[in-house]
Amino acid sequence: MPTQRGGGPTMHDVGKLAQVSAMTVSRVLKNDPGVSEATRERVFAAVDRLGYRRNETARSLRLGGSGMIGLVVTNLANPFYSRLALGVQEIATEHGFRVVLSNSADQVDKEPGLVDGLVDHQVEGLIVVPAGSRQKHLEDAMRRVPVVLAARPPAGLDTDCVLVEDFHGAREATACLLAEGHTRVAFLGNPPALYTGTERLRGFWAAHEEAGVEPDSTLIRQGLVDAVTAERATAELLDLPSPPTALFCANNRISQGAIRVLLKTGTSIPLAGFDDFDLSDVLGLSLTLVSYDADEIGRQAARLLLDRLGNRGAPPPAARRVTVPTRVIRYGPLSGGPREVRA
């Protein structure tokens, strides 16, 4: 057994015993499909014999990278972003990367500092859920590392992004309410400056146009940022002389705030909302929810980023856009149990 500085075998030692380069050892440990099975077996045999344990600091020095990717989300308390982060981590781990997570708390002014901090700490690439439409700081970051956006598209940037079918999902869920004969459907939405807020309102409006129903602008509430603001807006709508007969909520936090008011007041009207959530199937309410795989958004974003990292030095590919599909699920008395609505 060779005596090594730090007391343990190195990747170079593994390569020497397996008669391959240290770079090939790294590729085997990262499960690179381009390595032959015979080489893979020799490397793992050497790892077992030497008791090698990869040193991440040494890896960084040898391979010229930190082995880290940065992820910036807008609200980690929202289950959507937790699932997205898990999706990123799943793919990053498969490829030998670690994820460094930052939360902007929906503060546009806070995001540039978080991005700069991650780049200064030598992350090899970034996945960002932008807090707003001002993205100049991301252009600066892109000069140093690849950047992929998630859940919201680039504004004036030429970079990859992963989106949800925001327009389609909102249109289909609203159409379900209109098909039941509701002509006074209220819209409770997030800030209009957000891409998701604009697209989901656009889908809500399109469903009305297709049904030949004129939306009532007095029933539209935007700028809601959490369950508390959604509760206030819902209470105001229900207190109107001519209240809505159904509600559409633009995300899970808004839906939860609206549901609290419906349960507190004993108001029995159907609710459609973007994002499925835990316990939606046991509330006993008529719910029409737009569902999708939030983990898949993170997985797709990580794949796009790692693809760019794997092709450093080659001419960069054109910016790509991946869209994660939605489906509408209905819960409650009128549905006879959870069932998917076929568009």
Q: Is the dihedral of CA 186, 326, 318, 147 positive or negative?
A: positive
The answer to whether 8 and 53 have CB atoms below 8 angstroms apart is yes
Backbone angles phi, psi at 124, to 5 degrees: -85, -15
The answer to whether 72 and 129 have CB atoms below 8 angstroms apart is yes
Token pair 């919201």: residue: 152
Report which of 157, 161, 164 is spatially closest to residue 135, judged by C-alpha positions: 157
Instruction: Tell me which of 251 and 50 has the higher pLDDT.
Output: 251
Token pair 């590919």: residue: 317
Token pair belonging to 148: 């992929």
pLDDT in tens, 67-109: 899 999 998 888 899 999 999 999 999 888 999 999 999 888 9
For every residue of 200-225, DSSP letters joined together read HHHHHHHHHHHHT----GGGEE----
pLDDT confidence bin for 314, thresholds 50/70/90: confident
Length in residues, the chain: 343
pTM, full prediction: 0.77
pLDDT in tens, 2-49: 434 445 777 788 899 999 988 888 788 877 778 898 998 898 898 888
Domains in the chain, ordered, with CATH?
11-63 (1.10.260.40), 68-164+294-312 (3.40.50.2300), 166-291+327-341 (3.40.50.2300)
Q: What percent of the chain has pLDDT over 90?
A: 64
Token pair belonging to 54: 């990869």
- pLDDT of 58 reads 43
For the CA atoms of the chain, what is the radius of gyration? 25
What region, left, alpha or beta, does residue 186 occupy, with left being phi > 0 and alpha being psi -120 to 50 degrees? Answer: beta
